[in-house]
Amino acid sequence: MVRNLVYHKKGMCVMLLLILLMAVALIGRLGYLMIGAADHYGALAREVQERERSIKAGRGVIYDRNGTAIATNKPVCTISVIHSQIEEPERVIEVLSKELELSEERVRKRVEKVSSIERIKANVEKKVADRIRTYELAGVMVDEDYTRFYPYGTLASKVIGFTGGDNQGIIGLEVAYEEMLKGTDGTILTLTTASGVEIDGAAENRIEPVNGRDLYLSLDVNIQLYAEQEAKKVMESKQAKQVSVIILNPQNGEIYAMVNVPEFDLNHPYDLSVLQQEWQTETEPEEKLATSAGQSEMDQYNNMWRNGCISDTYEPGSIFKIVTATAALEEKKVLVTDQFFCPGYKLVEDRQIHCHKRAGHGAETFKEGIMNSCNPVFMEIGARVGAESMYQYYERLGLFERTGVDLPGEANSIFHKLENVGAVELATMTFGQSFQITPLQLLSAVSSVVNGGRRITPHFGVKVMNEEQGTVEQLVYEEKETGISTVTSETMKTLLEAVVSEGSGKNGAIEGYALGGKTATSQKLPRSSRKYISSYLCFAPANDPVVMGIILIDEPVGVYYGGTVAAPVMERIFENILPYLGVERTLPVKEAETPEE
């Protein structure tokens, strides 16, 4: 009996010890949950008890060089529904279908979907959203939002680009500067019950959005308008396929205008004429594009949005003679006074390669050869320089690589491999055939020739400004030395001035101004198509250029020579923009004759 009592006491002690250990463990666990893991479980509780709604950040504004806004934000609203809070589903479906001009079937599908929050439509006009608010429908949320707005519509559309339904850049500068422009969205956190119903009177936790930074460009709205206006006129009069114009400062690479007509409306970037009726349906453009657009339609979008100035390569024709002449002068393979003879062709190996003047130019100096744009003269000096040395100058002038312009989608040049360049290939390359470059690559290379030998980076972005913080970031672009001497640069400017004042570019001359320039007429491949690109490059003032432009007229009908078709268009553009840029007339201006009485 005594033994049993001892066993009983021991059992009680063990039981008490176990209970004590369990109590300590529970207290420890409770302490850990209340103190050590309080943040973790508090966050989990908030996830269950809070509903998150986005507050869109305002996208940064894009300004031209004069501070004119060319891409801004327009206030709109996003209409959503919260399934657990809807009290009159049929009424909600009826109102939203009518006000948002959507089918009842589409609205019903989203209203009846069991989810924490379901978006019905984004980018809703504010006046429409305000009308929806007046119905005071339980479970219908109206949130403030922004959509991109382009005050000038079609202006520089393929340069500026546009944004999608999520306000993210799609093409152009909107993509290139996405990280600077987009900002950071904010949130509204609302307390809810376990069933997802918002608690009346509960405070909202609001995280304010951070707006994107503003971008200032070198692009000038007025110069762009001048250039677009003239490009449209010549496109219509010559029934051309398209017309491209680039205007830049050859000293620093700032681009003042980049035209690709026909342009498209940035506020309606999916507005294709063949799809016009389809876009009038309720489907969002991005949804239509993703779900039903066929390959042929995608091709149409790509063609409409494509920036030919940087994405399309072509044979530059006689404008490229500027590069050939520069290499020959720098290598001391030719003097301005050297004599040549043009019988209308040059025999290279077993091929007879013609001059554009089949009858020939006869005896002429190197200067006259440039003024006359004589092919045999350039084939001769190209042979003197040789393929290997010529390729070294192509490399120095950046013709084997992209310019680095701050736009997406830039193409690169297409050249023969050096080991595949024979006498015939070299001869045709000297006057701009048998290889392809982009218009911007050509303009960049010629900029180096006339600015003293500096290779600039063409660009639009000048500075980025943060209005809230009051900070400004100046954008810096790389410059390289090409090794082209000042002497060669000065000689080339003098020769190209003679082209405009006395030679093939005289239709581009402007009274009172000393201009340099070069014309070109490029035959498109296949040669049998007899289709041409008429082009003209010029700069002013000739002795110290601050502005340079190039125009390309693709497949003009009728007369197609660059000096006849393209030069007069650039003359009209420059006649407007030179006074605007403060470039003064330095040559005598003929006085108008007074009519006899």
Instruction: Pick the more confident residue, 122 or 420.
Output: 420
What is the pairing mode between strands 351-354 and 255-261? unpaired
CB burial of 20-55 (b: ≥16 within 10 Å; e: otherwise) equals eeeeeeeeeeeeeeeeeeeeeeeeeeeeebbbebee
- Backbone dihedral region of 530: left (phi > 0), alpha (psi from -120 to 50 degrees) or beta? left
Sequence-distant (6+) residues with CB within 8 A of 133 are: 142
Rounded to 10°, the helix 375-385/321-330 angle is 40
Which tens digit of pLDDT belongs to each residue from 457-513? 999 999 999 877 778 899 999 999 999 999 999 999 999 999 999 999 999 999 999
Instruction: Pick the more confident residue, 23 or 154.
Output: 154
How far, in Å, CA of 78 to CA of 23, rounded? 54
pLDDT for the residue numbered 278? 32
Which tens digit of pLDDT belongs to each residue from 298-342? 788 888 999 999 999 999 999 999 999 999 999 999 999 999 999
How far, in Å, CA of 190 to CA of 3, rounded? 68
How far, in Å, CA of 345 to CA of 338, rounded? 19
Q: In this model, does residue 218 exceed pLDDT 60?
A: yes
Which tens digit of pLDDT belongs to each residue from 586-596? 888 665 444 44
Structure token digits, residue 110: 């989203």
Lowest mean pLDDT among 325-339, 428-442, 464-478, 545-559: 464-478
Structure token digits, residue 294: 């066929």
How far, in Å, CA of 153 to CA of 128, rounded? 23
What is the pairing mode between strands 62-63 and 69-81? antiparallel
Lowest mean pLDDT among 34-43, 207-216, 283-292, 468-477: 283-292
How far, in Å, CA of 12 to CA of 14, rounded? 5
Annotated catalytic residues are 318
How far, in Å, CA of 518 to CA of 432, rounded? 12
pLDDT for the residue numbered 273? 57
What dotted CATH number matches 52-217?
Answer: 3.90.1310.10
How far, in Å, CA of 110 to CA of 118, rounded? 6
CB burial of 442-481 (b: ≥16 within 10 Å; e: otherwise) equals bbbbbbbbbbbbbbbbbbbbbebbbeeeeeeeebebeeee
How far, in Å, CA of 525 to CA of 272, rounded? 28
DSSP 8-state code for residue 278 = G
What dotted CATH number matches 311-580?
Answer: 3.40.710.10
Neighbour count for residue 191 (Cβ, 10 Å): 16
pLDDT for the residue numbered 27? 78
pLDDT for the residue numbered 587? 84
Helix (H), strand (E) at residue 309:
helix 308-311
Q: In this model, does residue 531 exceed pLDDT 60?
A: yes
Q: In this model, does residue 436 exceed pLDDT 90?
A: yes
pLDDT for the residue numbered 302? 87
Instruction: Pick the more confident residue, 383 or 126.
Output: 383
- How many helices (H) and strands (E) the chain has is answered by 20, 21
Which tens digit of pLDDT belongs to each residue from 560-578? 999 999 999 999 999 999 9
Rounded to 10°, the helix 387-396/375-385 angle is 100
Q: Where are the domains of the chain?
A: 52-217, 311-580
Which tens digit of pLDDT belongs to each residue from 87-110? 888 998 899 999 999 998 999 999
Sequence letter at residue 533:
I
Phi, psi at 183, each rounded to 5°: 75, -175
Helices (H), 321-374: 321-330, 366-372
Secondary structure of residue 332 in the 3-state scheme: coil
Determine the Cα angle at 429 with ends 345 and 420, to 5°: 115
Helix (H), strand (E) at residue 243:
strand 242-248
Q: In this model, does residue 184 exceed pLDDT 60?
A: yes
Sequence letter at residue 430:
T
Q: pTM for this structure?
A: 0.84
